[in-house]
Amino acid sequence: MKTYTPRQLAIIGAIGMAVIAAIVLGALQYNRLPIFTAQKRQYSAYFAESSGVTAGTHVQVSGFQVGAVTGVELDGARVLITFNVNKDIPLGDRTEAAIKARSLLGAKVLELTPRGQGQLSGPIPM
């Protein structure tokens, strides 16, 4: 059995603490790691009112979370909501968007209904 000097024990302890700290930070921020983040595309949609949607609101397709709202801004008499969606979700040229209640407490979600052929190229109309 090999005995370690106090200096070697301190180095081993420092390396162990650094590894544990990296694991904890990775576990708490896993969605920001490039390995786990899916490539996303930016889209936008016009609405008559924003109905409590803010940046960070979930975007769903068929009940599955596929992205998040990135911005809500007033564009004349309409509201322009920008959001990102995973690249592997096909959105056709007639895609529809609706703001729906997610829970009884009033949490909102942006629900997308993919329709049409080709690729969505401009903002989704009201």
pLDDT by residue (tens digit) across 15-49? 999 999 999 988 888 767 666 666 788 889 999 88
pTM of the predicted model as reported, rounded to 2 decimal places: 0.68
Nearest to 88 by CA among 48, 42, 38, 54: 38
DSSP calls for 18-41: HHHHHHHHHHHTGGGSTTTPPPEE
What's the chain's Rg over C-alpha atoms? 22
The CB density around residue 109, as the number of other CB atoms within 10 Å, is: 18
Which residues fall within 8 angstroms of residue 28, CB to CB, at 6 or more apart?
none
pLDDT by residue (tens digit) across 48-97? 888 788 888 899 988 888 888 998 999 888 999 999 988 888 888 898 88
Which residues fall within 8 angstroms of residue 36, CB to CB, at 6 or more apart?
30
